[in-house]
Amino acid sequence: MPHVFINQIQPGQAIDDIYMVNQPILRSTTRGDLYIAMFIADKTGKLNARMWQASEEIYNAIPQDGFVHITGRSELYQGVLQVVVNQVSAIPVEKIKLDDYLRRTEKNVRQMSDETIAILETIANPQLKAIIGVFIGDEPLMKNFRKSPAATVNHHNWLGGLLEHTHNMLRAATILFPLYPKVQKDLVLAGIFLHDIGKTVELNYETSFGYSDSGQLLGHIVQAVIMVEKKVAQLQAAGIQIDDEPLNSLLHIIVSHHGQYEFGSPKLPATAEAFMVAYLDNLDAKMNQVTDKIDNDPGEANWTGFVSSLETKIYRRRVIEQ
């Protein structure tokens, strides 16, 4: 039986299929009855799922990040599609066709990688060029950079998403540089490349998308700083001097790229280059969320469901034909 993808599910539809499960939580109703809240997902999206009249035994048999066979029914709850689960059982990953469940970038990975490196090779400052060069020369790291998602949920949450996000930002920056000639171009390019490099170790993306233990403990910003400092130590051990001022300016871009404290930024942007990277990061992430919702939100109504990360619904009807 062919897999029924998340974006094909309609309200009132019987469900009998295998999905990825994320973040299952055992909770109690106001009457004290146990139920399980979780997300089910495949490469086309994810849905909230609820299993009422659950038990600790059922909950303990569900993987925290893995695959389950569920039976149940879809329904609309407060205008949002969800699945009510009647039965659930774990499925070994060996029995799964992963291409049905892990989204991949629709763009050409090799082309994006080549263009990313070509843009970075325009960096003229020898110290920044050396730092970027030692990252590019680390093939195991670059393999993960080309494969990693940029996030687990909100934006570019697919294999190759980190590369796609970084490539987009680099291309946007090269277009903007002529408008802002006082911005230090080399710092911006290096900062864009390294701002999310910690995602390669923060996230798990072999059989499902989630967080590594070190990712949970440290987060990608701290991990990126550690990675840069290790590469700089490697360069200095080889006799290549890296001065404090360009290094600190580069690290500042990394630690401030979330833009606001409430978004998990350890520091606020305090240089022109940091502001540019933070805004380019936010722009590319937001536009990706909007266009992805327009393309993939279930149903064909003019409005998508409420998008919590954007704090709005998205109007997706095209009003100008091209």
Distance between CA atoms of residues 207 and 201, nearest Å: 15
Taking only the tens place, the pLDDT of each residue in 301-321 is: 899 988 888 989 999 988 887
Taking only the tens place, the pLDDT of each residue in 63-105 is: 987 899 999 999 998 888 999 999 999 999 888 888 888 889 9
Taking only the tens place, the pLDDT of each residue in 101-124 is: 888 999 999 999 999 999 999 999
pLDDT (mean) for 143-150 = 96
Question: Which phi and psi (to 5°) does residue 39 adopt?
Answer: -110, 140
Distance between CA atoms of residues 144 and 127, nearest Å: 24
Q: Which residue type, as a one-letter code, is found at position 138?
A: D
* Domains by residue range for the chain, with CATH: 6-99 (2.40.50.140), 104-293 (1.10.3210)
pLDDT at 126 over 90: yes
**CA triplet 175, 152, 252: central angle to 5 degrees?**
50
Nearest to 165 by CA among 232, 220, 99, 225: 220
pLDDT (mean) for 180-203 = 97
**CA triplet 135, 138, 144: central angle to 5 degrees?**
95
Contact 131, 231 (CB under 8 A): yes
Taking only the tens place, the pLDDT of each residue in 261-312 is: 999 899 999 999 999 999 999 999 999 999 988 987 767 789 998 888 898 9
Taking only the tens place, the pLDDT of each residue in 16-70 is: 999 999 889 999 999 999 999 999 988 888 899 999 999 999 999 999 878 999 9
The confidence score (pLDDT) of residue 322 equals 67
The confidence score (pLDDT) of residue 36 equals 96
Distance between CA atoms of residues 289 and 291, nearest Å: 6
Distance between CA atoms of residues 194 and 162, nearest Å: 11
Looking at the chain, how many residues does it have?
322
pLDDT at 1 over 80: no
